[in-house]
Amino acid sequence: MEMVLYEATGSIGTITINRPKALNALCSQVLDELNEILDQVDLETVRCLIVTGAGEKSFVAGADISEMSTLSKEEGEAFGKKGNDVFLKLEAFPIPVIAAVNGFALGGGCELAMACDIRYCSENALFGQPEVGLGITPGFGGTQRLARIVGPGRAKEMVLGARNIKAEEAYRIGLVNAVFPAEELIPAVQKLAAKIAGNAPIAVRAAKKAMNEGASLPIAQAVVCEEKAFGSCFATEDQKEGMGAFLEKRKVTGFVNK
C-alpha cells in the first residue's frame, strides 16, 4: 500500500489518498488500494472513518486523466465499474464515513466525497464535475448522487455546465455540512468522528443503514427499515445501558458494542 494510507487511532480510522504530486488523482491503483483498505478496517474497534487527501492543496482532483485518455469503450466501462464498486462499498460501509475535503474535489474527487456520509471542507475547497468539458460524463456516480444531495436543478447546472463551485457555495446548497479554515478542518472532523464514535455503535450502524436503505424507497416502505433498525436495538446491552443511565440520572459508563 503506498498510494492510499490508513491509520487507526483508538476508535477512529483515517484513510488518506496519497498522490500529492498528481493532486491525489484516482488511478486504478488508488481504487484497488482503497478497496483493500476498506476490507481491512477492524470494525470491532473502529467506529468512524475519515477520508481525506494528502497535502494542503487537494482532496482528489479527479479520476486520473492520463490513465483514462487511452481507454477503449470496454476499458472505460471496466474503469467506471471499478470506481463505482469501491464507492458503493464506501457508501454502504457499516460505520459512518466523513469526508475531510482539503482542497480540490473535482470529478472523481467530488464523487468520492459524495459517497461519504458527511462532508466538511476547508475554505480553499473547490467542488465540481468538469467531465463534459473533457468529452466524457461523470463516471463514479456524479450524475446520480449530486442530484440526490443538492437537487436536480443545481446538479444539472454543475454537471452540464461543468461549473465548479467554491466552499461557501457548496455549503449554501448543502453539498457540505460545514466549512473551516484549512488548519481547523482535520481537528473539526476528528471532533465529529469522536462524537459519533462515542455513541452506541450498534445503534449508529443501524441508523446509517436505515437512512441509506430508506432513501430510495417510498416512505411507507422506508419506515419499515426504521422499524427493523429500532427493534434490533432492544436486543443489545447498549440500549439497556443508554436508557438505564438516563433513568438512573447518571452518565453512560461506556457502550460495549453488544
As annotated, the active-site residues are 111, 131
| 86 touches 35 (CB < 8 A) | yes
- How far apart CA 97 and CA 51 sit, in angstroms, is 7
Angle at 245 between CA 187 and CA 255, to 5 degrees: 50
Does residue 134 interact with ligand DAK by CB under 6 A?
yes
Closest CB 141 distance from ligand DAK, rounded Å: 9
Residues 180-239 that bind ligand DAK (CB under 6 A): none
Q: Which of 13, 62, 141, 201 binds ligand DAK (CB under 6 A)?
A: 62
Q: How far is the CB of 254 from ligand DAK (least distance, A)?
A: 43
Residue with smallest beta-carbon separation from ligand DAK = 139
With CB under 6 A as the contact rule, which of the stretches 89-97, 131-139, 143-151, 215-223 interacts with ligand DAK? 131-139
Per-residue b or e along 30-61, where b marks 16 or more CB atoms closer than 10 Å to that residue's CB: bbebbbebbeebeeeebbbbbbbbbbeebbbb
How many other β-carbons are positioned within 10 Å of the β-carbon of residue 84?
A: 17
SS (H, E, C) 170-233: HHHCCCCCEEECHHHHHHHHHHHHHHHHCCCHHHHHHHHHHHHHHCCCCHHHHHHHHHHHHHHH
Which of 83, 96, 141, 201 lies at the binding interface for ligand DAK (CB under 6 A)?
83
Longest Cα separation, the chain: 66
- What is the rounded CA–CA span in Å between residue 165 and residue 258? 43
Identity of the residue, 13 or 139, whose beta carbon is nearer to ligand DAK in the bound complex: 139
User: Does 141 interact with ligand DAK (rule: CB under 6 A)?
Assistant: no
Judged by CB under 6 A, the stretch of 37-45, 91-99, 137-145, 201-209 that binds ligand DAK is: 137-145
Residue among 13, 53, 107, 141 that touches ligand DAK (CB under 6 A): 107
Nearest distance from C-beta of residue 167 to ligand DAK, angstroms:
15
- Site residues, ligand DAK (CB under 6 A): 22-23, 25, 61-66, 76, 79-80, 83, 104, 106-108, 130-131, 134, 136, 138-140
